[in-house]
Amino acid sequence: MKGSIRERSPGHWAIILDAPDPASGKRRRKWHSFTGTKRQAQVECARLISAMKGGTYLEPDKTTLAAFLDRWIHHIKAHVSPRSHERYADLARKNIAPLLGGIVLSKLRPAQIAASYSTALASGRRDGKGGLSPRTVHHMHRVLKQALGQAVKWELLNRNPCDAVDPPKVERVSMHTFDLPQTAELIDALRNTRMLVPALLAVLCGLRRGEIAALRWRNVDVTAGQIAVVESAEETKDGVRYKEPKSGRARTVALSSTMIDELKAHRARQAQELLRLGVRLSDDSFVVAQADAHPLKPTSITHEWVRLLGQTALPRIRFHDLRHAHATHMLASGVHPKIASERLGHSKVGITLDLYSHVLPGMQADAVVRVDDALRDAINKRTKGIG
């Protein structure tokens, strides 16, 4: 097994490898193109010979990154949710491919990937109005790394070039929620609107927007004072689909007396409203629905939230931040993080602790005071007993 280099033009080389065919024993030539100095071409030739001997050699392939990404997108469709598939496809085709898609897959290098991230941050917006956010570029990195990891598994690459690239740092966004007085003001503001129950399910029960849009009356038990969160609505280009909650498992959420009263009143109003349309409310009916009982799209909840919040003097927060408010209220009131995690539907308590670490310092201070008081009480009892 041997190799040689041949200069095609200044700085451009052909690397020719001579290797016997395992089946026929005849000599076969494999050609590789290389750009660089003569010394660099010699080093690359030696590397390819070593790869041949070690069994890690890959045949020259002209497949571009863009073509490979299309193949990968098709492959992962059966392994992720439709919404995730749409997101991966958009990032791959609309953000990554315009920057790196023309490069031959086998020639993609870490330096090129790092440079593309810098370009995306400076001028990556498709409307030409500046760069992408570090968070979006971070998502690009995750998608590209996953895709190239599959290329390694398919033996199209020896190694994943993304492993040697650091994505941009994403600064944690400060969490904005409503405190209890603001929550009370919100409830008053939404009292005679269709947003009251969705907002209450988020701020008093911690439900996600998709979970609210998928909730049916058969999952509500006001007698036992609990609801079963078994589905979540996911909006895709093909319409709304109902799937398992985000954590992948159902959960039961206890209802406060306030929430029970509001749900009873809401069901009565909804039944009367539908009766006027000649429709009978059933256990299969959605708790939060259109006036004709048809289900709501998750985005419809967001649009109505933005519209109604704009009519109040309350701070402008996202609908999802009502869920954060519920978590903050629980932890600040001394609820154990494990209980809060189960109520919120987090897969691990560590997620809860990480998301709401801003509440923990106050909890720690309160815990220190309680332990200190208990210790002082024990010391005083011991002193009196000795005396």
Q: What are phi and psi of 21, to 5 degrees?
A: -70, 125
CA–CA distance, 121 with 131 (Å, rounded to integer): 5
Residue 358 has pLDDT above 90, yes or no: no
Q: What is the pLDDT of residue 366?
A: 62
| 321 and 281 both lie in a single domain | yes
**Domain span at residue 243?**
180-357
Whether 343 is in a domain gets the answer yes
Q: What is the pLDDT of residue 312?
A: 95
Q: Helices 65-76 and 134-153: crossing angle, nearest 10°?
A: 80
Edge-to-edge strand order for the sheet containing 27-35? 2-9, 12-20, 27-35
Whether 101 is in a domain gets the answer yes
| 48 and 85 both lie in a single domain | no
Q: What is the pLDDT of residue 157?
A: 86
pLDDT confidence band for 335 (50 / 70 / 90): confident
Q: What is the pLDDT of residue 188?
A: 94
Residues 280 and 294: beta-carbon distance below 8 Å: no
Whether 172 is in a domain gets the answer no
Q: Report pLDDT digits (tens) over 180-213.
A: 899 999 999 999 999 999 999 999 999 999 999 9
| 45 and 92 both lie in a single domain | no
pLDDT confidence band for 33 (50 / 70 / 90): confident
pTM, to two decimals = 0.71
Residue 61 has pLDDT above 80, yes or no: no
pLDDT confidence band for 127 (50 / 70 / 90): confident
| 82 and 226 both lie in a single domain | no
- Amino acid identity, position 249: R
Domains held by the chain: number:
3
Please name which of 1, 106, 109, 105 lies closest in space to residue 46, comparing C-alpha atoms: 1
Q: What is the pLDDT of residue 277?
A: 92
Q: What is the pLDDT of residue 367?
A: 60
| 276 and 138 both lie in a single domain | no
Q: What are phi and psi of 168, to 5 degrees?
A: -65, 150
Whether 376 is in a domain gets the answer no
Q: Report pLDDT digits (tens) over 243-278.
A: 888 877 899 999 999 999 999 999 999 999 999 999
| 194 and 228 both lie in a single domain | yes
| 235 and 126 both lie in a single domain | no
CA–CA distance, 261 with 349 (Å, rounded to integer): 30
Whether 327 is in a domain gets the answer yes
Instruction: Please provide the average confidence, as pLDDT, over all residues in the chain.
Output: 88
3-class SS shares of the chain: helix, strand, coil, % to 5:
50, 15, 35
CA–CA distance, 318 with 322 (Å, rounded to integer): 7
